[in-house]
Amino acid sequence: MVDRGTAAAASHSADVAALVAQYRRIPDGAPVRLAKPTSNLFRFREPAGAPGLDVGRLDRVLAVDSAAGTAQVQGMATYESIVDATLPSGHMPTVVPQLRTITLGGAVAGLGIESTSFRNGLPHESVREMDILTGDGEVVTARPDNEHAALFRGFPNSYGTLGYALRLEVELEPVRRYVRLRHERFGSAREAATAIAEICREHRYDGEPVDFVDGTVFGPHELYLTLGTYADEAPFTSDYTDQRIYYRSVRTRDTDHLAIRDYIWRWDTDWFWCSRALGVQNPLVRRLWPRRYRRSDVYRRIVAWDRRHHLTDRLAVLRGGGPNEPVIQDVEIPVDRLAEFLEFFHRDIGISPVWLCPVRLRDPKGWPLYPMDPEVLYVNVGFWATVPLRPGEAPGKHNRAIEEAVRDLDGHKSLYSNAYYSEQEFWQLYNRPAYTELKQRYDPKGRLPDLYDKCVREK
């Protein structure tokens, strides 16, 4: 009988060899991209003419070691598949981003966050080692203590411009069957920020332990923190995959209970609240929309089609309006500057709801290409909508205002969506010296795009 672990390792080695051979057949100077079935980036571009690297086979969980609390995972494995592989043994990754089809490699190269981040940091901080196909076509194993330690630390926020993660060893944490939720209302951002700081320091609130923290902002005077606690039993469980909508329950229920899997994917069914723009929250549409298609990846494909064909903007013009600017960003703001940011945001941008998620880095050394201060508690503020442009206003006006506010408040902006920085400003924020050193070592011919080109210039 063939050992499953040995068979998985052999299959993985064959997958890697095939990918490396394909990479080396791409001529120098030709663009390199990944051919993958899903994406959670919001930099919508015209489809490339050249075929991409076929990474579709690198999508498996190779092994789960429940005793050691680790898993061996291929880079293109989605968190949905990772959760499916780890929950049976009572484990999950230390941070599981909110959307099912985010891949582990994508979360490490492009960052991720969730309600365990106040105690577990960011997804890449659970990585013990990773095999990376670098820009020069070699596969290296990067760990924090070997000759590729600089690449290990510089890979987060590199967005595939230094290489692609093929295999990662990640830490897991034990879970329990249920999560008990408390939705605590606050009347101002300052009150909420004070509570966030206290909860994240003590891991308790009002005498009860807290394992998960996130928040929902409906307006300047209506903010909720949702505090989750692991539980072995539950008096009831709610289902938000059918007719009921999770984010609405935050306003109407003081407490709630979810099975652990339903808690992990509580935001995916309605893509937080973004399914509203597609009509999926209309009761009639929702009853007719098959449950299997109430998923973030389905909604994103619809949005991608709309962006390519400009249908929404055309309809707005026909109705006598103007174009809308997509404002899709996640930013990290120091908790003691959160109220200032939200005051600006409500006044000048006006999107609601808004998501809050506190995060503190686990690793005191930090991560050079996304230089958050390990001593600071940040709050991720996520907002995903469109804002009307007035006559004469250029696209990017609102996004640029947000970038300036984030910079002025000592915050940081994720790069999964459009960015509008000048090249000089970008590299002041994202550590050009560290990036240049890694680029010269691992992609000396520049076969992969430059980080500024990929994240800003190539709109």
SS (H, E, C) 182-207: EEEEECCHHHHHHHHHHHHHHCEECC
Span 254-258, average pLDDT? 98
Chain-centroid distance of CA 371 in Å reads 17
Span 327-337, average pLDDT? 97
The pLDDT of residue 31: 78
Per-residue pLDDT band for 30 (boundaries 50, 70, 90) equals confident
- CATH of the domain spanning 4-43+55-175, picked from 3.30.465.10, 3.10.620.30, 3.40.50.2000, 3.30.70.3270: 3.30.465.10
| More confident site: 406 or 48 | 406
Helix ranges (H only) for 237-355 are 246-252, 260-264, 283-288, 296-309, 311-318, 338-348
Per-residue pLDDT band for 44 (boundaries 50, 70, 90) equals low
Residue 7: count other Cβ atoms within 10 Å of its Cβ: 11
Per-residue pLDDT band for 276 (boundaries 50, 70, 90) equals very high
- Apex 138 CA angle, 134 and 139, nearest 5: 80
Residue 319: count other Cβ atoms within 10 Å of its Cβ: 7
Span 263-271, average pLDDT? 97
The pLDDT of residue 405: 98
Per-residue pLDDT band for 81 (boundaries 50, 70, 90) equals very high
Nearest-CA neighbor of 260 among 237, 235, 226, 293? 237
Q: Is the pLDDT of residue 110 over 70?
A: yes
Name the least confident of 297-306, 364-373, 440-449.
297-306
Q: Around 309, how many Cα atoms within 13 Å sit in the side-chain half-sphere?
A: 9
Residue 414 is classified by DSSP as -
Cβ within 8 Å of residue 109, ≥6 positions away: 155, 156, 157, 158, 159, 160, 164, 165
Locate the domains of the chain by residue range: 4-43+55-175
Angle between helices 338-348 and 189-202 (to 10 degrees): 140
Share of the chain above pLDDT 90, in %: 83
Q: Is the pLDDT of residue 130 over 60?
A: yes
Query: What CA–CA distances, in Å, run from 214 to 113, 201, 298?
Result: 10, 15, 25
Cβ within 8 Å of residue 338, ≥6 positions away: 189, 192, 193, 196, 356, 379, 381
Chain-centroid distance of CA 321 in Å reads 33
Cβ within 8 Å of residue 68, ≥6 positions away: none
Residue 125: count other Cβ atoms within 10 Å of its Cβ: 18
Residue 254 is classified by DSSP as S
